[in-house]
Amino acid sequence: MDVSFENVKHFITLADFTPKQVLWLIKRSMEIKSELKKGNKLPQYFSGKTLGMFFTKRSTRTRVSSESGWACYGGHPMFLGKDDIQVGGGEPWKDTSIVVSSMVDCILARLGGHEEIEVLSKYSSVPVINALTAKFHPLQILADVVTMYEHFMPNYQSISSGDLPLPMFKNFKVAWVGDANNIINSMLVTLPRIGIDLAVCTPPQYQILDDVAKFANENSKATNPDYGAVSYTHDPKVAIKDADVIVTDTWISMGQESEKERRIKEFAGYQVTEKLAKEGGAKPNWKFMHCLPRKQHEVDDEVFYNPERSIVFPEAENRKYTVMAVFEMLMVNAKN
Q: In whole angstroms, give the CA distance from residue 107 to residue 222.
A: 37
**What single-letter amino acid sits at 237?**
K
Q: In whole angstroms, give the CA distance from residue 109 to residue 96.
A: 12
Dihedral angle, C-alpha 210, 198, 268, 114, nearest 10 °: -40
Q: Which helix (H) or strand (E) holds 59?
A: none
Supply the DSSP symbol for 178: S
What residues does 52 pair with on adjacent strands?
78, 107
Other beta carbons within 10 Å of 47: 10
Q: List residues with catalytic annotation.
A: 291
Supply the DSSP symbol for 171: S
Residue 245 neighbours by CB under 8 Å, 6+ apart: 148, 173, 174, 175, 286, 287, 288, 289
CA distances from 243 to 152, 269, 306 (A): 13, 18, 18
Q: In whole angstroms, give the CA distance from residue 33 to residue 31.
A: 5
What distance, in Å, lies between the first and last C-alpha atoms of the chain? 15
Q: In whole angstroms, give the CA distance from residue 26 to residue 325.
A: 8
Classify 39 in phi/psi space as left (phi over 0), alpha (psi -120 to 50) or beta: left
Q: Which helix (H) or strand (E) holds 82?
A: none
